[in-house]
Amino acid sequence: MNKMTKILNPPIKLTAEIIIYVYECTKRKKVCNEKEIRLFVNKTDSYITKSLDFLKEKEIIISKNEGFILKKELMQKLSGQISGAEQIIKSFLIKDKKFIEYSYFISVGQNPDKSAKILKSIYNLDQNEKIIIKIFNEWITYLKIDIKQKISKNETVYALEKSIDNKLLANKFLREEFGELFSKISEDVLDDLATAITKLNKKNEEAINDAGRALEDFLRIDLANNINLKKCSGIVQISNELNKYEEFPTKLNNISSALGNIRSMGKAHGVDAKLKERWTIKTDSTMAYILLILSIIKSYLNYKEHKYTVF
């Protein structure tokens, strides 16, 4: 039987205060424990627990020496202001898979009760439909988003262009593209894909790298998590390794390898070793790259789940 889960709904202002406190401790190389956090914020225990559960699950705070420090990547994004902490919380809410699915269902005309009921079943939620709707309505208000903004069916390129600079719309576009396979894909993979979409046109080299990282993480985490790929560095080496196993179609592995080579044109790899020049990536090429990655992820999952040979 699948384990029951819950949507964590943190008190925003309190959670932001805790982030800033842990940030200040981490900046001074101090590990702060839970007792110190509770004394600092001086709020009801149940509210503090909600905040801490959220921060720990999302790995915003990391356990160390019986206490907590702020995640290294987030230290670089903060300057000690509450607004910065709230922005971090927003970024985690807007990429929550259950929230993305709920937003998608509403945007295509599904009523809230039925949307919540579907989510409860898909994600095995230990919360009733009214609670689910209440939580997500609070997020919609807090994030100030238009949840009913639609992605048109069968207009992929148009939908992709509409998604630029709009993270939630990018996420709904991904839900539209992946369909029921969406729940099989890791949150970090989806977030990197959504980030790549929002960088289209303005930061194409970064978008290529984000989309390529999403593919690499998908191969490691979602597709071949039963295989030891630690010795593999990058998409090309992973793809070559997958060719040793019958359950991963050779044609898809070879396409994946080619996508790995395109990734090397992106920002992360710098100057071309042979040509001694950087590649300039055009917007239409970036868009095509992202769409190909979506296609290969769908194709891999369709084969893994149903043995369908569809690309």
Concatenating the DSSP letter of every residue in 175-207 gives HHHHGGGGGGS-HHHHHHHHHHHHTTTT-HHHH
The structure's pTM equals 0.83
Among 294, 286, 94, 282, which Cα is nearest to 209's?
286
What stretch of H or E contains 69?
Answer: strand 67-70
- What was the pLDDT predicted at 196? 95
Q: What are the pLDDT digits (tens) for 120-154?
A: 999 999 999 999 999 999 999 988 877 776 655 55
- What was the pLDDT predicted at 159? 73
How far from 110 is each of 96, 103, 106, 116, 183, CA to CA, in Å?
19, 10, 5, 10, 18
- What was the pLDDT predicted at 64? 92
- What was the pLDDT predicted at 150? 62
- What was the pLDDT predicted at 152? 57
Q: What is the mean pLDDT for each group of 10 consecutive residues in the chain (311 residues)?
A: 85 95 95 94 92 95 94 90 92 93 91 95 94 94 78 65 80 92 95 94 92 97 93 94 95 96 78 78 93 97 94 91
- What was the pLDDT predicted at 147? 76
